[in-house]
Amino acid sequence: MNDIISAGLPLAYEDLLAKCKEIGFTMPSDLYIGSLLKTLICSKPKANILELGTGIGLTLSWMIDGMDLDSTIYSVDNDPQLIRIATDFFGEDKRVNLICEDGSAWIKNYSGDLFDLIFADAWPGKYSDLDLTLELLKPGGFYIIDDMLSQPNWPEGHQELVYELIGVLENRKDLQLTKMNWSTGIIIVVKK
């Protein structure tokens, strides 16, 4: 077995990579998390999905690729430039809701249906507002986080925050999780 992604890239992926270089966006998620999210989303027909941290939309392209026609995704980012780029690529898709707002405020104010899958790729929903975020997850739903392995761009003290987050997740009785030393370090959580 190898780690080659052979299932085909999303249609917008190469153009989004070019856009990363054009604007100097240096925090894109890798192919592996995208492929994993697409696979998990394929297991959830008529899904309600949340992405916290749209970024430039690379991971969003994978998730949209995995959604059926009856699924919906909310993708939240506080950077207007990044939301504009994502809107240029995905704004015509009626299943996609792109939201330019502070993630913490959005989590606190959301009152819609629970989510089948949450990908927390930003501070809110991961290092802050974790309990509120997990309250938005359906039983049987996936909560996915990446960047759990040490990264060269981490600020001083960030490793301790990662260890603390992992400890909190491991000690919750309402969750089942698997830690994966793969990609950038992924944790897959299912709510019991």
> pLDDT tens digits, residue range 55-70?
999 999 999 999 999 9
- Per-residue pLDDT band for 151 (boundaries 50, 70, 90) equals confident
Q: What is the pLDDT of residue 97?
A: 98
Q: Strand 186-191 vs strand 175-180: parallel, antiparallel, or unpaired?
A: antiparallel
Q: What is the pLDDT of residue 126?
A: 97
Q: Over range 33-49, report the average pLDDT.
A: 96
> Among 12, 32, 84, 95, which residue's Cα sits nearest to residue 54?
84
Q: Is 99 exposed, middle or buried (0-12, 13-18, 19+ CB in 10 A)?
A: middle
Residue 102 counted as domain residue: yes
Task: For residue 144, give both structure tokens.
Answer: 């996915």
**pTM for the full predicted model:** 0.95
What average pLDDT does the structure give for the chain? 94
> Among 145, 146, 130, 115, which residue's Cα sits nearest to residue 41?
115
Residue 16 counted as domain residue: no
Of the listed ranges 76-80, 110-114, 181-185, the one predicted with least confidence: 181-185
Of the listed ranges 25-34, 96-105, 130-139, 149-158, the one predicted with least confidence: 25-34
Q: Strand 72-77 vs strand 96-100: parallel, antiparallel, or unpaired?
A: parallel
- Please spell the DSSP secondary structure of 68-88, one letter per residue: -TT-EEEEEES-HHHHHHHHH
- Containing structural domain, residue 36: 30-191
Total domain count, the chain: 1
* CATH number for position 35: 3.40.50.150
pLDDT at 150 over 70: yes
Per DSSP, 143 falls in state: E
Spell out the residues 6+ positions from residue 171 whose beta carbon is closer than 8 angstroms to its own. Answer: none
- Per-residue pLDDT band for 112 (boundaries 50, 70, 90) equals very high
Residue 149 counted as domain residue: yes
Residue 3 counted as domain residue: no
